[in-house]
Structure 1
């Protein structure tokens, strides 16, 4: 199909505007952990534009404790916002007597009821805080719970997702215009296409990408040779099965693959060992949920926990039976608040994933962001 010149010009203008908004384009691998750098830029911009934050933090470089305080302030701002704009949270908090000023510590979060996945599945538009005309895209996904959940995003929020994806790819090691990401999601069925999100992120960041949804190992390897693939991303189960087929077709390291990123599903150490032995490179895990913005955390090369998109989320780990907040290092259910979301923000959202918070610096050099440990599914037993 031929695209008219005005359409091509409009597309080019939109791409250039988007590029100027992406903080990740200014982040470089050699300066430290790119995802942490990206998060710090976002946080510093917020401090610069807020009288309250500027008065509290001034011009100093935020440290770990500063960021915890920053997140509490953002949480109070979000709570005020949903009390004014969200039909769901107005109803949920109506009889609690909650006032945002009451949230002064992380322990105070327990005063607020949790947001259940069933509520989001049953009445998604009750969570909506903006006019329908401001919605750019809606995604639905059942995830691992078999509950169809619908989430809406504004154009700016979609750009934030792309921005975080680029930072995650840079943290995984993509730092050259000669790098090519091969995207493999043949088994994903949802109203959002991860391949398109990733290819758009690559286009905006200046990386190359190629999408191949084939289930055939020969076809995938041919694409790698033709495209000069250096990074691979796909679902954990597919990449594991592909690796078992590829064992007979290639030698470890033969194709020059630098990293493999496994997403959408848990990755066991047995699966990781098989994938790494076949391709001759490290395999990193990525974690995300459609309702939280698709791409939320990824491992660095040290494979010691998932680095979170730090400015986007306030995370807690709770006892799934009692709801009590657990200390760092203790395993429980991951609960997430989407601090920067304006379209359909979620407060204390139950993920039903079991993990623990790693509240100490990483060997990669990241020292102010939080990490979460291996993700497990909660059976409810």
Structure 2
């Protein structure tokens, strides 16, 4: 990189850093992801006359946030009805408009978005000009359906912002921390390692990517870089743990936390990982279609905290599409509340979970939480 390119990159990094609310959050002041979510919502209220009239400058409670999400949903229905060819046609066919959505019970009036529709005609979901797209990602997820999803530059920065707050919640709290990123088995048009390393750069943390499947190579990197946290796919970390334990006592390496992502982490897998490393292993869940990083466990390991301002989460019966109450297991359905490029409304994830509505033992009480996510195949075989 020549000098002008270095200067340009440095300026862009500094501009991006100033836009990140996550950098202002202190891990010692409560749950960082919840703090980030409340800060985002308050910022939006401050900029919107109608929202400010409704909520003012008061501290937000759970009911306020539920009301905010319902208003954002109504706004989103109007937005896609005007800008998205897919939703414009779908909602016209069902005679749906935002005036019909006045409570959470009314969510059932909104047609579900099926994955095969997104896979077959991705650009029908697009709400902005193609020139406004910064990146497109393609992923098959667990359904083997290739789905292309587009993001603007601003939305990519929002993803990075949420990742930083999630990492803070997982235990990264100083520039002395180093995140070791292990995704040797991921094959997609997006690289989770690059997303995470960029988040660390902007968040003021150190990171190192090692995509080797060799346990000794990963252990050598931990020692050389002073790794304090590890993130990777659940199955890889589990297998790496077993192999590393045969080589040496890894408890002596000083790992503070292990984040298991991209795949379900069973209780048995977690028990093995934690007993070998002597630290907690937390679950993370996300989908490319929804923005890559969508929910993560806190230190209390009492459900995964959802990115509060970004998503409205429902759980439905996968056979009848009936909306299920909190605590009851079913299919996760997600609405991307603040995305403008390619929003998804009531998107069927084909993943199984349940909503936790009570206060978390970490003290967070404003965000939605979901239980450990399972694959639809695992659920269907038991039901």
With normalisation by structure 1, the TM-score equals 0.98
Contact 2:178 2:225 in 1 (8 A): yes
Asked if residue 217 in structure 1 is aligned to residue 215 in structure 2, the reply is yes
What's the secondary structure of 1:71's corresponding residue?
helix
What's the secondary structure of 2:247's corresponding residue?
coil
Asked if residue 71 in structure 1 is aligned to residue 88 in structure 2, the reply is no
1:370 matched to which residue of 2? 368
Paired with 2:248 and 2:80, the residues of 1 have a C-alpha distance of: 54
Asked if residue 199 in structure 1 is aligned to residue 197 in structure 2, the reply is yes
1:97 matched to which residue of 2? 95
1:173 matched to which residue of 2? 171
What's the secondary structure of 1:322's corresponding residue?
coil
Picking from 104, 107, 113, the partner of 1:106 is 104
Q: CA deviation at 1:250?
A: 2.5
Q: CA deviation at 1:253?
A: 2.2
Q: How is 1:75-154 mapped onto 2 (pairs within 5 angstroms)?
A: 75-154=73-152
Picking from 237, 240, 255, the partner of 1:239 is 237
Paired with 1:266 and 1:370, the residues of 2 have a C-alpha distance of: 19
Q: How is 1:1-381 mapped onto 2 (pairs within 5 angstroms)?
A: 3-379=1-377, 380=380
What's the secondary structure of 1:253's corresponding residue?
helix
Paired with 1:279 and 1:242, the residues of 2 have a C-alpha distance of: 11
Q: CA deviation at 1:354?
A: 1.0
Q: CA deviation at 1:259?
A: 0.1
4+ aligned runs moved over 3 Å, structure 1: none
What's the secondary structure of 2:197's corresponding residue?
helix
Paired with 2:157 and 2:248, the residues of 1 have a C-alpha distance of: 38
Q: CA deviation at 1:52?
A: 1.7
Unaligned runs of 5+ in 1: none
Contact 2:91 2:97 in 1 (8 A): no
With normalisation by structure 2, the TM-score equals 0.98
What's the secondary structure of 2:253's corresponding residue?
coil
Q: CA deviation at 1:57?
A: 1.0
Paired with 1:181 and 1:127, the residues of 2 have a C-alpha distance of: 35
Q: CA deviation at 1:50?
A: 1.3
What's the secondary structure of 1:62's corresponding residue?
coil
Q: CA deviation at 1:96?
A: 1.6
What's the secondary structure of 1:248's corresponding residue?
helix
What's the secondary structure of 1:177's corresponding residue?
coil
Paired with 1:143 and 1:96, the residues of 2 have a C-alpha distance of: 29
> In the TM superposition, what whole-angstrom CA distance separates every residue of 1:174-233 from its partner, at most 9, and x where no partner exists?
001100000000000000000000000000011000000111111111100000000000
Paired with 2:313 and 2:81, the residues of 1 have a C-alpha distance of: 20
Q: CA deviation at 1:46?
A: 1.1
> In the TM superposition, what whole-angstrom CA distance separates every residue of 1:339-358 from its partner, at most 9, and x where no partner exists?
00000000000001111110
Q: CA deviation at 1:252?
A: 4.8
Provide the aligned length of Structure 1 versus Structure 2. Answer: 379
What's the secondary structure of 1:197's corresponding residue?
helix
Contact 1:246 1:278 in 2 (8 A): no
Contact 1:179 1:231 in 2 (8 A): yes
Contact 1:252 1:277 in 2 (8 A): no
Paired with 1:64 and 1:252, the residues of 2 have a C-alpha distance of: 42
